Structure 1
Amino acid sequence: MSTPAVSARRREEIIAALRRGTVPSHGLDQLAVGLERFQGALGEDLDRVAQGGFAVKAVRGEYGSGKTFFTRHLAEQALQRGFAAAEVQISESETPLHRLETIYRRITESLRTASTQSSAFRSVLDSWLFALEDDALLGDPGLESDAARLSESVGVLLNERLAAVTATTPAFAQALRGYHAGTTAGDAALADGLAAWLAGQPHVAAAAKRAAGIKGDLDHFGAMSFLQGLLAVLRDAGHPGLVVVLDEVETLQRMRSDVRDKALNALRQLMDEIDAGRYPGLYLVLTGTPAFFDGPSGVQRLPPLAQRLATDFTTDARFDNPRAVQIRLTGFDRSSLVQVGQRVRDLYALGRDTEPRIRSRADDEYLVDLAGAVTGGLGDRVGIAPRLFLKKLIGDVLDRIDLFDDFDPRRDYRLTVTAAERTEAGGARSAAGSGAGSGEAGGGTATQRAAADANDVDLDV
């Protein structure tokens, strides 16, 4: 199987993440299996958003079905098109959904672009202000020798570009003007303070806010206007859109009923405003389990929200509409698990001196055996397997073949799934008992005695 071109450094980053049992933050095109049916519709969404439209997509799947992988793969595709992306993990204590000011802050904290893989908010602000300066100089080249007039001209352009935001939240433009003044004057304390305030951070120094003529901290209503401002800044800085992933929204089901209702109403409000066209360039993606979308403790508690997300899943999954507002992931079967194992094996082996040995001893037949041992007696129901399978494949098999000349996994390796691994990532659906289980992947057969003990491990790749 051929592996798409990728640098050695990127290959090692991908392999290192999988060795830890986590989803890589990039390079997911190297691993994507079974997502082809969604690509056309997602591409249409991104095209529409890039042209000033908007999109909302709910991703539905059980634990282990691949929701995290799917959304990060979508974000990576968006980055390749020049978008920015942000991922927000919903939780009752850290990021409650009904506190939209917290959601906005998490967006700015996790903001990334193709050129800045983390903490991109400040660089986006700087890029935007540089673009305004270029536009001002294009209109009047003489401004280059007059810093005061250039700053004034940038302020005029700033007001024009943010007119829609300024009408409801003038403080956003005021803070940006103050930030520009601070960076121009070399006042790091002022610039840092106002950048933090624009990012929704609390406890910004009063001196910085006073210098910009602003007061207080960001609240629920201001956050939505700030999101509108962020989209405008991104667009003028050369990023046609923003993908925002609200991950693990199903955690709402475990919250107190009053908090849950507030969160669901906030989500409905946000979707209403998106549909009204208030956020051009926004692609909102939310993930959840079927119980969240269909059960009494989730979306169904708020009929208007349930109606917005309603999608018919009574037909064969092969005929699901990828353009629908809600799509479902059916997870891996044994065949797709082997396919992703082949991709990882090829990615691992590429460019190594030990490549022939790796390909020979971890051949396709062995990958079939290992997949069978990990999944146990589940047949084609592979709800547990992808992350655990890849972690075992790399750490227990491929690394050893690479390091030890005489290591043969068929002879020298016996698969073991520990109790800790069964509950890794908090995904175990039910108690599977205590103690370690083991299965063998060797000699062309896979005894599945203990792999069956891992049946209830949910690893959300």
Structure 2
Amino acid sequence: MSLSPQRRLEIIDALRRGTVPRTSLDAFAVGLDRFEQALDEELRKAAGGGGVFKAVRGEYGCGKTFFVRWLADRARKRGFATSEVQVSETETPLHRLETVYRRLMERLSTADTLQGALRNIVDGWFFTLEEDVLAEGQVDADDQAALVKRTSELLEQRLAKVTATAPMFSAALRGYREALAEGDQASADGILAWLSGQPNVAAAAKKVAGVKGDIDHFGALSFLQGVLLVLRDSGHPGLLLVLDEVETIQRVRSDVRDKSLNALRQLMDEVDGGRFPGLYLVVTGTPAFFEGPQGVQRLEPLAQRLYVDFQTEERFDNPRAVQIRLPGFSIERLTLVGRRVREIYESHASDAGRIRERCNDDCIRQLADAVTGRLGGKVGVAPRIFLKKLVGDVLDRIDQFADFDPA
């Protein structure tokens, strides 16, 4: 695939730091084509108003984060909004759904806004509402007061189902719209922050919208319903939400662990029950989380919902199953990834010929062997280290120093 200099720089910079790029992962994805058809079917299901739940399992270093970002990239290309939430014991405990909601909103992304996209989404939604109001032919485009009034009425109609369980969601949106119309940017910003689940919002801003307190555990799910409705109305077919590293709940106290597992079961049931049309929920974890005594197996109803028989050969795994496993890296696959990264690097290098000559296929294979050898042959934990060394220790030096030869 053709990459712009900016995209190429983002990929190379991320690999140089040892992190996973957030976009254009198709450029060097290897071994994921087996999942494409099933995942695209599920994205279409979500886009059609359905709900999808997917569990992704794999050992540390097998590429779970890469996989979900690759999937998110595909979703954004189809118009979805996406959000990736890292579950942790302290910052984002899974049983505190209000915190999960806040992180979701902080990391909300679209194709043109890679983080903090709520404002653009909400503004786009109000623009759509205004267009619908003007299309009715009952309000003059120059009558700002009448336009705001009718837009607020239409807002209430569109959010009627959500308002029944979370009246403050529509109240906050209405307050945000009115604050903007009156030029009160500070209040508008505060209301949007409150709508995002942020704590410690100024009382003055909340008073403008007629809301009180903060979003709680139960309100978070109702607000998520509202967000999905706004997304769909503003041209986004759905939301792909990733809960990454859920295995961290194995390290918390047993009572907190049980609450977290129950929250996961609740989310899964709500998705299956149709409460969140357009939501594609993905969770990632290690095999120990799905099969061990401190993970999913502690809650029998959840274990039954997530059960998949992985006793057959890996090549016969069903990509449509509720739980899928990622294959580990082989030396051959690692080398192929390295070759693709080299192609990305040389596409905008100062001397592409020198890059290709001195970092040839044999050089990449030798580096892969050396890295996995130092790690005791554990290819699964090698990809990030390998790619970091390939970019930082080999490609960068060849590019900058004419007499450097890694051989």
- What runs of 5+ residues in structure 1 fail to find an aligned partner? 411-461
Q: Which has the higher contact order (CA 8 A, sep 6+)?
A: 2
Q: Deviations over 1:411-447 (max 9, x none)?
A: xxxxxxxxxxxxxxxxxxxxxxxxxxxxxxxxxxxxx
Give the corresponding residue for 1:115.
112
What is the CA–CA distance in structure 1 between the aligned matches of 2:138 and 2:355, rounded to whole Å? 62
Q: What's the CA shift for 1:223?
A: 0.5
What is the CA–CA distance in structure 1 between the aligned matches of 2:396 and 2:88, rounded to whole Å? 36
Give the corresponding residue for 1:71.
68
Give the corresponding residue for 1:335.
332
Report if the CA contact (8 A) 2:375-2:382 is conserved.
Answer: no
Q: Highest CA radius of gyration, 1 or 2?
A: 1
Give the corresponding residue for 2:239.
242
Q: Counterpart amino acid of 1:289?
A: T
Q: What's the CA shift for 1:403?
A: 1.1
Report if the CA contact (8 A) 1:84-1:242 is conserved.
Answer: yes
What is the CA–CA distance in structure 1 between the aligned matches of 2:185 and 2:318, rounded to whole Å? 51
Q: Which runs of 4+ in 1 moved over 3 A?
A: 377-381
Matched, 1:217 2:237: no
What is the CA–CA distance in structure 1 between the aligned matches of 2:12 and 2:138, rounded to whole Å? 51
Pairs within 5 Å for 1:246-395: 246-376=243-373, 381-395=378-392
Report if the CA contact (8 A) 1:333-1:381 is conserved.
Answer: no
| Secondary structure of 1:168's aligned partner | coil
What is the CA–CA distance in structure 2 between the aligned matches of 1:189 and 1:140, rounded to whole Å? 33
Report if the CA contact (8 A) 2:51-2:279 is conserved.
Answer: yes
> CA separation of 1:254/1:196 partners in 2, compared to 1, >3 Å: closer, same or farther?
same
State how many pairs are aligned: 407
Q: Deviations over 1:376-429 (max 9, x none)?
A: 17797511211100111111111111111111111xxxxxxxxxxxxxxxxxxx
Give the corresponding residue for 2:27.
30
Match of 1:188 among 172, 178, 185: 185
What is the CA–CA distance in structure 2 between the aligned matches of 1:168 and 1:9, rounded to whole Å? 44
Give the corresponding residue for 2:131.
134
Q: Deviations over 1:308-333 (max 9, x none)?
A: 11111000000000000000012210
Q: Counterpart amino acid of 2:23?
A: H
What is the CA–CA distance in structure 2 between the aligned matches of 1:201 and 1:390, rounded to whole Å? 37
Q: Counterpart amino acid of 1:202?
A: P
Q: Counterpart amino acid of 1:368?
A: R
Q: TM-score, normalised by structure 2?
A: 0.98
Q: Counterpart amino acid of 2:399?
A: D
What is the CA–CA distance in structure 2 between the aligned matches of 1:271 and 1:105, rounded to whole Å? 19
Match of 1:177 among 174, 181, 187: 174
Report if the CA contact (8 A) 2:330-2:379 is conserved.
Answer: yes
Match of 1:403 among 388, 400, 405: 400
Give the corresponding residue for 1:82.
79
Q: Deviations over 1:137-168 (max 9, x none)?
A: 11126421211211111011101111110011
Q: Counterpart amino acid of 2:263?
A: A
What is the CA–CA distance in structure 2 between the aligned matches of 1:364 and 1:206, rounded to whole Å? 62
Give the alignment's Cα RMSD to 1 decimal. 1.2
Q: Deviations over 1:46-98 (max 9, x none)?
A: 00100111100100000011000000000000000000000111111111111
Q: TM-score, normalised by structure 1?
A: 0.87
Q: Counterpart amino acid of 2:206?
A: K
Report if the CA contact (8 A) 1:235-1:241 is conserved.
Answer: yes
